[in-house]
Amino acid sequence: MKVTRVLLVLAFAIASLLIPAVMVSAEGETWVSGIMIQNQNPDREANITVTFYWAEGTALAGQVACSFDDVIPAGQAKAYYIPTDPKTVDCLPADFVGSAVVSSDQPVAANLNTQVPSGTGNNTPDIPNRMGTASGVLEPATTLYFTQLMKNYSGWNSYIAVQNTGAEVANVTVTYYNDADGSVAGTDQVTIQPYSTYIFEQADNESLPASLWSGSAKVVSTNGQPLAGIANLFNSGVSKDKAQFQSYNGVASGGTLLYVPRIVKDLYDYQGGMKIQNVGDAATDVTITFFYLGAEYVVNVGTLAPGQAKGLYIPDVPELADLHYASFSAIIESTGEPIIATVNEDNRLGIQLPGQEGRGTTYNAIADGSQTDTVLFPQFTNKFYGFASGVQVQNVGNDVAHVVAVFSQSGRADVEVTYDLQPMESISWFGPDVPGLTPDFNGSVVITADQPLVGIANMSSRTDKDTRFPTNYGDSYVTYNGINK
């Protein structure tokens, strides 16, 4: 018997995933969503129910818009592109904006793509593609932190989508903090109906400075209703060069040690950045150690006040000035207070890789204590409608890790690759370079090791690798956090 109520999740050890922002069309511009759901059980099929709820600001806020059942084979994943999937195309209204809950009789993992419709950006540089990915939320919380938000900041803005996952109305307060010193920049106070979502647009918040504001936020359910949330930050989108659309998850708590599986410097046209926030009650000192080709580079970030967030643009870090074409792993350490961080990567120029300018991506640094010997990735592609994925795992143990990656898609034979990975360093696998992984692959990955791991996956249009499809202008680049099992 399948249990679909969120409150029964812990009692029956059955997975329920929360997806805070699903769109078909909204705000005068067409945005759509895709969901990839992975069955974590390698031995039993998963019977799932996906239920969609209308967002706040609609006439039916909190009410069910659509629900469907499906079966996912053991250890496999299924993709649902909301505008065209047979299970949603006649079920969801064309103007739907809201959230979803995935319930299952087996543990599942998922990711959510928010994007303009498929095909945008094909041979059309002035109508660019835009796409971001976040992870489905397994554990809602009454407090969420967001490191990186903007209002009219050199063409950039952001929004937060917050889902009330409880059965009662949630009273929600958002406190915004200035990057410069951690002082309060503004607030929001709203009520959110059960299972509904509220979208906080920073550009519409009159309590924030009118322009050039960059900061962070704390979101609290003051009456104890559990929340899930994601943030999206985005450039103006007026051309392929300014198409960046980047998603990341809100974080319930931090740690004094964070892991970063990938950050880049001068990697073709791509550059990396970080945003680190102190979510503790007192000031704390922060350092970063970068690992590259067996060497370590220590960077002193400085002291962060409570609530304060600080950004680092990797090309401007003096300690890394002599390094080029570099892909690092890293750790971020605090002297006492918990911190969180987001990691960015973007391509602003398109000089070495023409057609890839305007791409950008963001993911959450991973707190110590999250690591396990198994990491799940719900979506991985190889030459799938021109898209190719990469996956990176970091060995955060004390010894060399023997790492095994298994790439799976229903109806195809599994592909397995291995690698021996040094402590604190990362290994990457890129779909077109994986031996035995054939074109048109759209599946999942399970990575295991004899040392604890953390990891991320990314994906973008790579028509240089899959010449069957036209150039995809704009931002097709996404990254999401792996799920530790």
pLDDT tens per residue, range 424-434: 999 999 999 99
Percent of the chain predicted with pLDDT > 90: 74
- What is the reported pLDDT for 198? 94
Asked if residue 251 is part of any domain, the answer here is no
pLDDT tens per residue, range 173-190: 999 999 999 999 999 999
CATH number of the domain residue 455 falls in: 2.60.290.11
Facing residues of 383 across strands?
none
Quick one: CA dihedral 87, 194, 192, 212, positive or negative? negative
Other CB atoms within 10 Å distance of the CB of residue 324: 10
59: exposed, middle or buried (Cβ count in 10 Å: 0-12, 13-18, 19+)? exposed
pLDDT band at 115 (very low <50, low <70, confident <90, very high): confident
- What is the reported pLDDT for 253? 93
Q: What is the pTM of this model?
A: 0.91
For residue 477, the one-letter residue type is: Y
Residue 98 and residue 46 share a domain = yes
Asked if residue 233 is part of any domain, the answer here is no
pLDDT band at 15 (very low <50, low <70, confident <90, very high): very low
Q: Answer yes or no: is pLDDT of 19 > 70.
A: no
Residue 427 and residue 351 share a domain = no
Residue 420 and residue 398 share a domain = yes
Q: Which of 164-168, 179-183, 283-287 has the highest mean pLDDT?
A: 283-287
Give dist(CA 109, CA 481) in Å, integer: 11
The residue among 116, 135, 154 that closes a domain is 135
Residue 133: closest CA among 458, 409, 374, 428: 458
Asked if residue 210 is part of any domain, the answer here is no
- What is the reported pLDDT for 29? 59
Give the chain's mean pLDDT: 90
Residue 467 and residue 376 share a domain = yes
Give dist(CA 454, CA 260) in Å, integer: 8
pLDDT tens per residue, range 178-229: 999 999 999 999 999 998 999 999 999 999 999 999 999 999 999 999 999 9
The residue among 93, 108, 135 that closes a domain is 135
428: exposed, middle or buried (Cβ count in 10 Å: 0-12, 13-18, 19+)? middle
pLDDT band at 338 (very low <50, low <70, confident <90, very high): very high
Residue 394 and residue 362 share a domain = no
Q: Residue 291 in contact with residue 374, Cβ under 8 Å?
A: no
Q: Answer yes or no: is pLDDT of 316 > 60.
A: yes
Q: Answer yes or no: is pLDDT of 46 > 70.
A: yes
Asked if residue 178 is part of any domain, the answer here is no
Q: What is the total count of domains within the chain?
A: 3
Asked if residue 197 is part of any domain, the answer here is no
Percent of the chain predicted with pLDDT > 70: 94
Give dist(CA 21, CA 280) in Å, integer: 28
Residue 20: closest CA among 162, 219, 182: 162
Q: Answer yes or no: is pLDDT of 407 > 70.
A: yes
The residue among 332, 366, 400 that closes a domain is 366
- What is the reported pLDDT for 4? 24
Asked if residue 454 is part of any domain, the answer here is yes
Count Cα atoms within 13 angstroms, Cβ side, for 409: 16
**Out of 12-26, 311-325, 437-451, least confident range:** 12-26
Give dist(CA 99, CA 62) in Å, integer: 9
Residue 347: closest CA among 338, 356, 335, 339: 356
- What is the reported pLDDT for 9? 23
pLDDT tens per residue, range 3-13: 322 222 222 22
pLDDT tens per residue, range 85-96: 999 988 888 888
pLDDT tens per residue, range 122-150: 777 888 888 888 888 888 999 999 999 99
Task: Give me the mean pLDDT over the 439-467 stretch.
Answer: 95
Residue 382 and residue 337 share a domain = no
Task: Give me the mean pLDDT over the 293-310 stretch.
Answer: 95
Residue 357 and residue 385 share a domain = no
Asked if residue 74 is part of any domain, the answer here is yes
Other CB atoms within 10 Å distance of the CB of residue 407: 26
Asked if residue 320 is part of any domain, the answer here is yes
Residue 379 and residue 362 share a domain = no
Residue 125 and residue 32 share a domain = yes
Phi, psi of 78 (to 5 degrees): -130, 145
- What is the reported pLDDT for 12? 21
Domain boundaries, position 111: 6-135
